[in-house]
Amino acid sequence: MSTAPSGVAKLSPICGKCGKSLRMEESIPGDPTQRLTGLSYLATVCKSCGWVECYACRGKIGAACSKCGGDVTPAFERLFVPTAPAAAVQEPQLVRGLGLVSATTLVMGSMIGSGIFIVSADIARLVDSPALLLAAWMVTGFLTVVGALSYGELAAMMPKAGGQYVFLREALGPLWGFLYGWTLFLVIQTGTIAAVGVAFGKFVGVFFPSVAADNWIWHIAKVPPIHLGPMVLGNMDVGLNTQNLVGIVSIIVLTVINLFGIKIGALVQNVFTFAKVAGLAAVVFLGIFVGRNAEAVAANFGNFWRNASLGAQHEVGAGIFVGSLTALAVAQVGSLFSADAWNNVTFAAAEVKNPKRNLPLALALGTGTVILLYVLANVAYLNVLPLHGEPNGATVMARGIQHAEADRVGTAMMLPIFGATGAALMAVAILLSTFGCNNGLILSGARVYYAMARDGLFFRSVGKLHPTYKTPAMSLVVQAVWICVLCLSGTYNQLLDYIIFAVLVFYILTIVALFVLRRTRPDAERPYKAIGYPVLPAIYILMALFIDVVLLRYKPQFTWPGLIIVLLGIPVYFLWSRGAAGKAPVRAA
């Protein structure tokens, strides 16, 4: 910006000939938070005396200055003269609209999906022991609660939008934060939402048979299986069917709801979380006190510890047998995934009231309650159904937990109690669970991409809030678009198989961040300190590392793809960083 000609104190904002105001206001390119005021470029200024005229007057009197006859020059943007200091325009800010109850329901609602009603069948086939079935869920519970207690310290210390992304960025550096955000957007959050959305469509099909995976509206292609070492890629149908259409519609509806403010999203979360917690509690009550089956109780609890000794051998696939501890580690693929997403409340930390108190409490109360319900749900299954069963059994009891039809253990448990009505009741419970789960995931995930964009590591438009509703509107939209692509591609189930290893790696790194920040920022304010530090967080790291190593060894088809997805983010980070070079990041609140 130029200044006034030599000897001229200040350029007049009014045409000296006709008195027309020439004042204008203009944004600074690349910085929407700043604006400058000055003279319109539709004017001329005398190089000698600084006399200002509009173009209309200058046309009447010729090219010379009408005051002194000197030469004039156009007052283009390069001669734009600030007449007042640059003033920041107040940007919309995230609204702290989540109280303790809403924050807790966000934790619980994000955790409870359809997994608790399904994955116990796969775990039961692997461990073939009632004791180890419950032990698998208890290991998951220990890891989840200890992780939540550790995250509570970090969340109270840094209650900012982005949560875990921010923790990794601040402790380990921006590359690690980006790799988490990259994997979250590409697979973890969006793939989970896609899978839960399609599961919602699947159970809508219980009441409306036309909603089905084989009822195609637009079948694009059948991708054949592609074998890469231990991995099998492809083998999916690409296109739009009535089942994934219902899932897509539910995702769009929830995205639109969350555009209209954090309080609307929280209200939906509260309603559906209370409903599905009540539904899960009803399953526990019915299984333990109403549907208790003497035959199942005798089979399961009369020989509770069978195949549970350390020396017992369990097949993990391809004729490979392992000991009980290793089998428990392999079993975590299902149970950990079913208990995942408790960390989502940290993504929305900037919108939690009194976060230094409410975030640690929400994490502890939410995870503790859900894990208790999960363990009790499995006790209920064992009270109604025998663990052992035959894949071709003619009845629910003959198939047992291990071979429940389509692995729907929850539905199988309800059939002896309510008959055919039990399947409908369970479908309603799962519809509530999946819809509420996706609301929490959609609400929370968008806050991470918003924080990344504010750091210059994602599309810049994603880092803006809606001026009226104070929500990351573009982040929600971009997230929804990618989820819909995953739904149509049919790849989300494969992606979910691949991510539990990567999820656990990032959990380990975040617990490591707790130790790093204790050392590098010893004087930082910590309203809450992790219970059991350093022992419990260290045990978490060791246990999670053991699980990851076991999965690398015995489930390579599920682990190496997840690791590759994470590593692909490294060149992307450096490319994006190069593009953002020279632009100061605007940290999210």
Residues 17-63: tens digit of each pLDDT: 776 666 555 444 444 444 444 545 457 777 777 777 776 676 644 56
Residues 280-295: tens digit of each pLDDT: 999 999 999 999 999 9
Helix (H) or strand (E) holding 35: strand 31-39
Residue ranges per domain, the chain? 23-88, 112-580
Three-state secondary structure call for residue 291? coil
Per the prediction, the chain carries an average pLDDT of: 86
- Architecture per CATH, 112-580: Up-down Bundle (1.20)
Tell me which residue of 186, 24, 192 sits closest to 114, measured CA to CA. Answer: 192
Residues 537-579: tens digit of each pLDDT: 999 999 999 999 988 888 777 788 888 889 999 999 998 887 6
Mean pLDDT of 317-326: 84
What b/e sequence results for 345-368 when a residue is b if at least 16 CB atoms lie within 10 Å of its CB, and e otherwise?
bbbbbbbbeebeebbbbbbbbbbb
Which pTM does this prediction carry? 0.82
Whether 114 shows a pLDDT value over 90: the answer reads no
> Poorest-confidence range of 230-239, 362-371, 416-425, 440-449?
230-239
pLDDT of residue 296: 95
CA distance 146 to 555: 25
CB 330 within 8 A of CB 316: yes
CB 315 within 8 A of CB 554: no
Tokens of 1: 């910006």
Q: Residue 168's Cα: distance from chain center in Å?
A: 15
Tokens of 281: 């509690």
CA distance 560 to 437: 28
- Which amino acid does the sequence have at 196? V
CA distance 90 to 88: 6
